[in-house]
Amino acid sequence: MERVYKMKQVLTIAGSDSGAGAGIQADLKTFAANGVYGLSTIVAITAQNTKRVKSIFSLPENIVEDQLDVLFEDFDISAVKTGMLFSSNIIEIVSNIIKKYKVEKVVLDPVMISKSGNKLLEDSAIDTLVDKFIPLAYIITPNINEAERLLNIKISNLDDMYKAAEKLCSFGCKNVLVKGGHLNFSKAVDILFDGHNHYEFSSEMINSKNTHGTGCTYASAIAANLAKGYNTNLAIEYAKKYLTEAIVWAQSNKIGHGYGPLNHFYMLTNIK
């Protein structure tokens, strides 16, 4: 008997990571591990490893736009996740495509700086991100540093995170998830604000150097879960569980000499 199952299709729009720990590569791994079919639009190519980003090449704008157009004209895309967009012009193109194809489930990860400290979003592009793209997002997922940069404030505790989530939501998006992993808590606490209520999501804080691509992975897992029909809270809850396990199972990995990658397929680790 033929099995009929229509796999949900999710698109990532981001930069390529030659070390495969973050960016497009991490997104596609996450989509596959979470049971959706991953599509990709590459906006920039980075030469990077676990220790540094050596160089960034932004792809021609017509190539970015063409990638998006051919994907939307053929695939039934249930959700879009964006990562490193790099420039104002790329943000404009992506925003126009989102409006053109009336995408509702947009997970915007406002990637600005790499773990090694390299700038992944031009300063001139931040205003464009705030004015043109954030209002189109279903949820944005800034970490502490990104939230501070977007709001020009200092976030030092849980109360600050609550206030930051509210202020970011006023930019026009439906939901804000402020990730607290950069704060020195005993737990990794994230705060969701849906325009009305706050929700906390917490997990154990794992002391590991293998954390390259955590933001990309988290946002991609949320997008996958939204595409599968889960509500916002469950999409985040399941994504955080997946992320935590991917970090735990990566602790013994010896891949690279800096911030190592996650184990995106930890569930296959014991399969022989």
- 21 Cβ contact list (under 8 Å, min separation 6): 50, 212, 213, 256, 259, 260, 261, 262
Q: Give me the catalytic one of 29, 179, 228, 240.
A: 179
Q: Which residue among 216, 217, 228, 260 is the active-site one? A: 216
Q: 144-151 vs 158-169: helix axis angle to the nearest 10? A: 50
Q: Tell me if residue 216 is catalytic.
A: yes
| Among the listed residues 132, 130, 110, 129, the one whose alpha carbon sits nearest the alpha carbon of residue 120 | 110
DSSP string, 220-240: HHHHHHHHTT--HHHHHHHHH
Question: What residue type is 29 in one-letter code?
Answer: K
Please count the other Cβ atoms lying within 10 Å of the Cβ belonging to residue 54: 11
Q: Which entry of 214, 217, 240, 260 is annotated as an active-site residue?
A: 214
Q: What DSSP character marks residue 192? A: E
- Residue 214 falls in the annotated catalytic set: yes
Identify the active-site residue in 83, 180, 213, 260.
213
Whole-angstrom distance, CA of residue 272 vs CA of residue 264: 17
Burial (CB < 10 A; 0-12, 13-18, 19+), residue 159, is exposed
* Active-site residue flag, 215: yes
Q: How far is CA 131 from the centre of its chain?
A: 19
Catalytic member of 15, 180, 215, 260: 215
Would you call 211 a catalytic residue per the annotation? Answer: yes
Just list the catalytic residues: 179, 211, 213-216
